[in-house]
Amino acid sequence: MHHKIIFIGGVHGVGKTPLCKSVCTKFNVIHHSASKLITKYSHIKFPSNKRVENIQRNQDALICAINKYLDTNKNYLLDGHFCLLDQDGVVTKIPLSTFTVISPMFIILLHEDPSNIYFRLQDRDRERYDMDFLSSFQKQELHYSRLVATKLNIPYLKANPFTDREIIDKFISDILE
């Protein structure tokens, strides 16, 4: 039994939530954030510094939450990450097995100018990140997301959530039809 999930990935502050809200108004899909599903299921809270104490435990909770709260007859946007910061601040890949179990229909990886991400994170979370770190984090997210899509043999799109809206909408429309 597979859920109909479109996985929207990207680093913190790239614009996943605004894009998902826009897409939900155009298509018959329901938006969930991976972190909010994890919190709903396991009551794990995420710190503002984005460091995750136990990445595997969180991914296990995400899978349980998907199975508990998502209906297999509906289409979903699931926004989340391919890489996270571990408790020491090291960029760490989410296990491929998580994506294998989630079994998304396709992946859209969002990318944005690191300076825009920097200011968004500063405004939203009151956190300041090194620009080189944000650039490296985004590159790792990009490379790993492509690998995941290749391993799962599913369609993949890399897009800017603010300048590529038409491309994203067409990609989603073509696949959902």
156: helix, strand or coil: strand
Q: Residue 82: which domain range?
A: 4-176
Give the whole-angstrom CA distance, residue 99 versus residue 25: 26
Query: HSE of 116 in the Cβ direction (CA atoms, 13 Å)?
Result: 12
Max intra-chain CA distance, the chain = 43
pLDDT at 121 over 90: no
Q: How many domains does the chain have?
A: 1
User: Are the C-beta atoms of residues 145 and 44 closer than 8 Å to each other?
Assistant: no
Strand arrangement, sheet containing 51-52:
51-52, 83-86, 91-93
pLDDT band at 17 (very low <50, low <70, confident <90, very high): very high
Each residue of 62-110: pLDDT tens digit?
999 999 999 988 999 999 999 999 999 899 999 999 999 999 999 999 9
pLDDT at 131 over 90: no
User: Are the C-beta atoms of residues 138 and 16 closer than 8 Å to each other?
Assistant: no
Token code pair at residue 59: 């991914």
Place of tokens 């080189």: 132
Residue 65: give its domain's CATH number.
3.40.50.300
User: Are the C-beta atoms of residues 70 and 101 closer than 8 Å to each other?
Assistant: no
Q: Work out the percent of the chain whose per-residue pLDDT is above 70.
A: 97
pLDDT band at 118 (very low <50, low <70, confident <90, very high): confident
Instruction: Give the CA dihedral 85, 2, 70, 55, nearest 10 degrees.
Output: -20
**DSSP one-letter string for 4-40:** EEEEEE--TTSSHHHHHHHHHHHSSEEEEEHHHHHHH
pLDDT at 122 over 90: no
pTM of structure: 0.93
